[in-house]
Every structure is written in C-alpha cells, then in structure tokens.
Amino acid sequence: MTDLDQLGSRLREAGREELEGLLDQHISEVGPSQAMQALANPFIDRDGILRLLDQRRLLSDSGLREALIRHPRTPRVLALGMVSSLYWRQLVKLGRDTRVHPTLRRAADNAIRGRLPGLSAGERVAIARQAGGGLLRILAADPDGRVVGALLDNPRLSERDLAPALVEGRSRPEVLARVAAHPRWTSRPSVRRALCLNSRTPTATVLALLPTLSKIDLGAVKSSSHLSSRVRQRAALLLGTTI
C-alpha cells in the first residue's frame, strides 16, 4: 500500500478530531481519490468540505465535483455553482436521484435542458432512457422519433408527462404511431382515447384501436368534426348508430 493509499484509508476511517488533523497536515497531498475517501467519512463536516473546495486543483476531477454536490454538508450555494460543470450522464443521474435536494435536481435538469439542442440523437436517446423529473415532457417533444421511442420505455414516464405529445395540433404522426405500437401505453384507456381523437394518428392505427374504446369515447370520436369521415363512420358502426 502506497503512502497515498494509506492516507486515503486514514481519511475514511478517522474519528472527528483525527480527520480534522489529517486535513490540516496533509491537505497538499490529498488528491481526488483521497478526497473521495474523506467525503465517505461520516465525521466530515462543513469546514472539512470547505477545505477540499479551497483546493481548486481537486475540482478538475468531475467525479469529485459530483460527490461534493451530492454531499449533504456541502453549502448549497457552492453545490449549485458546480452543477453546470458536470457531464450530461452525471446530470441525468443527479436529476433523478430523490436523495439529492430538489433544488439541485432541478438545476441538473435545467443544465441538461440547455444542452439538448447541441447533443446528438444518440445522446438524447440515452438520456430519454434514463431521465426523470422535468426532462420527461421536454423529451416527449423531441423532433427525433427515436428519442420518443426510447422515452416510452422509461419507467419514470407517466401519462401526465406523455399527454402533451398526444395533443391535437402539437403531435407528430411518427410519435403517435410509436405510442400506439407500445403495449404499455395502449393498455391505458386515456391514451387510446387521445390517439383516436387526434387527426394526425394514422387512420389504420385509429381503426385498430376503436373497438377497444368505451362507448363514451366512441361517442366523442363520432362527434369530432376534425376526424376523417371514415374514422367517424367506424365509431358510429361500433355504437350501432350513424353519423
């Protein structure tokens, strides 16, 4: 075990007073690995964290920055100031972690939101699979259908998050078709209703869904003036009436 390894172990295992002494005496020797060990010590306090933050050379390590942001004893204003310096993968994890203070989670979501236009489709797909919180509605409006397709598999996505993507006038046929082909979402009556009442949903998709609607929803389809006559006639036929 090297001297630095020994220092890291001591920083992790020390009692309160010993930890303070180690940081006083060896702060110039502490690297990112040793700083992470110190942060794992339950006795580290606000002053100890401020000592680490004072060592600007340590903050070049993104893993340590993330650990400092996450630590409950890091002053929140300082933690907030570091959020935007994280990589997008770190921001996604931070934004969905309910153990992290809501202010920091929102800051992480906002940082990703600002970067989305500059990220590749593949990166946005990866984010859509993992994201939570306020990013879900933003991703539901992504212009690339592959991103929305990945989002549909995200277990954190709710009907409320998806609803704006299904609204008449704001939706895209490709997205609507992907939703209609997804068993998780077409098992939900409100989603089936929204798909059938949207004039941009492909006609073949609507005709396949109509038999699964309630009589009330079929009545809404039959009465909708912005839907095609073919769709309305099929809804009327299922109700045993005419348009």
- Decide if 190 is inside a domain: yes
Shared domain for 184 and 217, answered yes or no, is yes
Could you tell me if 173 and 193 are in contact, meaning their C-beta atoms sit under 8 angstroms apart?
Answer: no
- Decide if 19 is inside a domain: no
Mean pLDDT calculated for residue range 122-145: 91
Shared domain for 186 and 206, answered yes or no, is yes
Q: In this model, does residue 14 exceed pLDDT 70?
A: yes
pLDDT of amino acid 127: 97
Query: What is the domain range of residue 130?
Result: 119-157
Shared domain for 131 and 109, answered yes or no, is no
Q: In this model, does residue 24 exceed pLDDT 70?
A: yes
Shared domain for 183 and 195, answered yes or no, is yes
Query: Residue 61 — very low, low, confident or very high, per pLDDT cuts 50/70/90?
Result: very high
Residue 29 carries which DSSP code? Answer: T
d(CA 65, CA 91): 12
- Decide if 223 is inside a domain: yes
Count up the domains in the chain and report the number.
Answer: 3
Which position has the higher pLDDT, 140 or 81? 81
pTM over 0.85: no
Q: In this model, does residue 13 exceed pLDDT 90?
A: yes
Q: In this model, does residue 141 exceed pLDDT 70?
A: yes
Query: Residue 1 — very low, low, confident or very high, per pLDDT cuts 50/70/90?
Result: low
